A and B are shown apart, each in its own frame.
Chain A
Amino acid sequence: MAEISRERFALLVEQAGLKKLTPEQIEELRQGYRFVERMARTVRRRRDRAAEPAHIFVHPRA
């Protein structure tokens, strides 16, 4: 996957309300954004609509 552009990433930073970051901090986060994309790909799968989240964590029975 192509690296996110500085312009597009600046929009994401603004959208997140992170107004006090230094240019170095923004670039550091941009370098890591590829991991956000990978993680999102891993968890976003087709699953039954009835599949519940583990919003209250309990130990499921086998």
Chain B
Amino acid sequence: MDPTLLTLAEASRAIAAGELSPATLTEAYLDRIATLDGELHSHVTVLRDEALAAARGLGAGPARGPLHGIPIGLKDIYKSRGIRTTAGSRVYETHVPDEDAETWVRLRQAGAILLGKHETHEFAIGGPDFSLPFPPARNPWNTAHYPAGSSSGSAVAVAAGLCAAAMGSDTGGSIRGPAAYCGIVGLKPTYGRVSRRGVFPLSYTLDHCGPLTRTVEDCAIMMQALAGYDPQDPASADRPVPDYRAALTLRLDGVKIGLVRHFHERDAVAGFGADSAPTPAYAAAFDAACHTLESLGARLVDVQLSPLMDFADTNRVIMLSEAYALHESDFRERPQLFGKHMFARIGLGAFLAAADYVEATRQRRELCVEFARALAPVDAIVSANATGPAPRIDAVGTWSTFERPSYTAPYNLTGAPALALPIGFENGLPLGFQIAAKPFDEAVVLRVGHAFEQATGFHRQRPAIAASLA
């Protein structure tokens, strides 16, 4: 059997049982990258020799746990010592860092193997940009379509079976958007839960690092290695880490879930016009997903929050202000190095006043308090993700992200954990929703996601390109 068809958890069990070697699995993934990535463009750098050497070393050494011998990839904003890390930009086209991202250190110590660095929107915001030296990644379900971003390459590689799991980053939805459009699982953990050290920042108070995987169980395995205090990340939280896999159940009896319907049923059109209405197929898939949760024993209650636009624009003002401050010297001295989208999007930060930023942070506190109160009586909440299938990649313009609602931003702003996972298909392209919970309650998010996933089986549907090469 082609070992790349196995989930991370299945491959892990096969390695532990001596039925599969890390080298065989790594070689199989590398062969797929060599065959398919000319069309998918998910990788900026492939580490064939390094990955095979690591796999052989692990094959001869003691078992390190469930990630032992598992091949993964990193979004190319994660620093990797001695390996080019471009941030998807001409500014860092030849940059070779002398340190590793803390998350990569933890994954490597847990036995993961680095297959390569994944294509990213420039500085995690500017894409898809055809003017840059790194071609934008393509959606594996239909390569004429957009995989979303900014963790584009990571999501594409996981969905197409070019790695077992990947790391992305999420400042306004950059893990959960690509997970939705590519039909996989993406987790934005709680702010402070996973170290950001050694990852190129976009916006200090909104950036989150998290995994992209094919299943929720795979996500739980990744989180077990990633979560935990990092004294060298100023935002890291010193909180105990629960056993995420142990939290997974097939039933949701006794779980109370808040349902935020007004984001997609009312706020999207009110804030952005009729073109932003969910597709009928999406609305039906969302309702069916809610019924599935009820059939698993969960009790659903409607939850009201402030309009989606309040969350989304507050997130944007903070993001653009912090990002512009970070890149201001390059905007002044060498703006021609930036790609068109990154330049224009972050460039807007030059025209926000200090008072806009302060007002946004005041509004952020109000929204966080409101969100905490809304979540107090429930265990988790469910809300929409992108409310239709992925558009064609050539239809995504500079201002697309400003012209449509961001269903993911509320959880960056509040720092709450949020999981994206598939709920169906439209025209052969995936649809998804989000499950969120109180800060540091990733275990509940994963529990609800796992029960839903096992009941529906959408994760078993793979793009045709992910079929075995044999």
Task: Give which listed residue, A39, A47, A51, A62, contacts B313 with CB less than 8 A.
Answer: A39
Could you pull out 20 A-B pairs where Cβ atoms are within 8 angstroms? A20-B334, A20-B335, A29-B344, A29-B350, A31-B399, A35-B348, A36-B348, A39-B316, A44-B356, A45-B363, A47-B363, A51-B362, A53-B361, A54-B361, A54-B364, A59-B368, A59-B372, A59-B439, A62-B373, A62-B376
Inter-subunit contact B352/A39 (CB<8 Å): yes
Task: Give which listed residue, A18, A52, A57, contacts B350 with CB less than 8 A.
Answer: A18
Q: Closest CB of chain A to B24's CB: distance in Å? A: 44
Name B346-380 residues within 8 Å CB distance of A. 347-348, 350-353, 355-356, 358-366, 368-369, 372-373, 375-376
Inter-subunit contact B332/A18 (CB<8 Å): yes
Known: A38-B313, A43-B356, A55-B361. A29 touches B340 (CB 8 A): no
User: Does B236 make an interface contact (CB < 8 A)?
Assistant: no
Q: In the complex, A51→B360 CA distance in Å?
A: 12
Q: In the complex, A10→B373 CA distance in Å?
A: 45
Inter-subunit contact A44/B344 (CB<8 Å): no
Inter-subunit contact B331/A18 (CB<8 Å): yes
Q: In the complex, A47→B365 CA distance in Å?
A: 12
Max chain B C-beta neighbours (<10 A), residue from A12, A25, A59, A61? A59
Q: In the complex, A18→B359 CA distance in Å?
A: 25
Chain B contacts for A38, CB-based, 8 A:
313
For chain B, which range describes its interface: under 10, 10 to 19, 20 to 34, or 35 or more residues?
35 or more
Q: Closest CB of chain B to A18's CB: distance in Å? A: 6
Inter-subunit contact B398/A32 (CB<8 Å): yes
Chain A contacts for B336, CB-based, 8 A:
20, 22
Q: In the complex, A43→B361 CA distance in Å?
A: 9
Q: Closest CB of chain B to A24's CB: distance in Å? A: 9
Q: In the complex, A22→B335 CA distance in Å?
A: 9
Inter-subunit contact B372/A60 (CB<8 Å): yes
Chain A contacts for B454, CB-based, 8 A:
none
Contact indicator per residue, chain A 1-38, by CB within 8 Å of chain B (1) or not (0): 00000000000110011111110010011011101101
Q: In the complex, A18→B352 CA distance in Å?
A: 14
Chain A contacts for B205, CB-based, 8 A:
54, 57
Inter-subunit contact A21/B335 (CB<8 Å): yes
Q: In the complex, A33→B309 CA distance in Å?
A: 17
User: Does B396 make an interface contact (CB < 8 A)?
Assistant: no
Name B117-133 residues within 8 Å CB distance of A. none
Q: Please list the residues of chain A having a beta carbon within 8 angstroms of any beta carbon in chain B.
A: 12-13, 16-22, 25, 28-29, 31-33, 35-36, 38-40, 42-45, 47, 51-55, 57, 59-62
Name B312-352 residues within 8 Å CB distance of A. 313-314, 316-317, 320, 331-336, 340, 343-345, 347-348, 350-352
User: Does B78 make an interface contact (CB < 8 A)?
Assistant: no
Given contacts A32-B398, A44-B356, A52-B365, 12 further A-B contacts (CB under 8 A): A22-B336, A32-B344, A32-B345, A35-B348, A35-B399, A36-B351, A39-B320, A43-B317, A47-B366, A51-B362, A54-B361, A60-B368
Chain B contacts for A31, CB-based, 8 A:
399
Q: Closest residue of chain A to B414, judged by CB?
A: A59
Q: In the complex, A47→B344 CA distance in Å?
A: 31
Chain B contacts for A17, CB-based, 8 A:
332
Chain B contacts for A13, CB-based, 8 A:
350
Chain A contacts for B351, CB-based, 8 A:
12, 16, 29, 33, 36
Known: A17-B332, A20-B335, A39-B356. A62 touches B368 (CB 8 A): no
Known: A20-B332, A22-B336, A39-B317. A60 touches B365 (CB 8 A): yes
Chain B contacts for A40, CB-based, 8 A:
317, 352-353, 356
Q: In the complex, A57→B368 CA distance in Å?
A: 10
Inter-subunit contact A36/B347 (CB<8 Å): no
Q: In the complex, A43→B362 CA distance in Å?
A: 9
Q: In the complex, A12→B348 CA distance in Å?
A: 11
Q: In the complex, A18→B235 CA distance in Å?
A: 32
Q: Closest CB of chain A to B90's CB: distance in Å? A: 15
Inter-subunit contact A53/B402 (CB<8 Å): no
Chain A contacts for B334, CB-based, 8 A:
20
User: Does B415 make an interface contact (CB < 8 A)?
Assistant: yes
Q: Closest residue of chain B to A19, judged by CB?
A: B332
Chain A contacts for B356, CB-based, 8 A:
39-40, 43-44
Q: Closest CB of chain B to A20's CB: distance in Å? A: 6
Inter-subunit contact B402/A32 (CB<8 Å): yes
Known: A28-B398, A32-B402, A40-B353. A53 touches B331 (CB 8 A): no
Q: Closest residue of chain A to B358, judged by CB?
A: A53
Q: Closest CB of chain A to B267's CB: distance in Å? A: 12
Q: In the complex, A39→B439 CA distance in Å?
A: 26
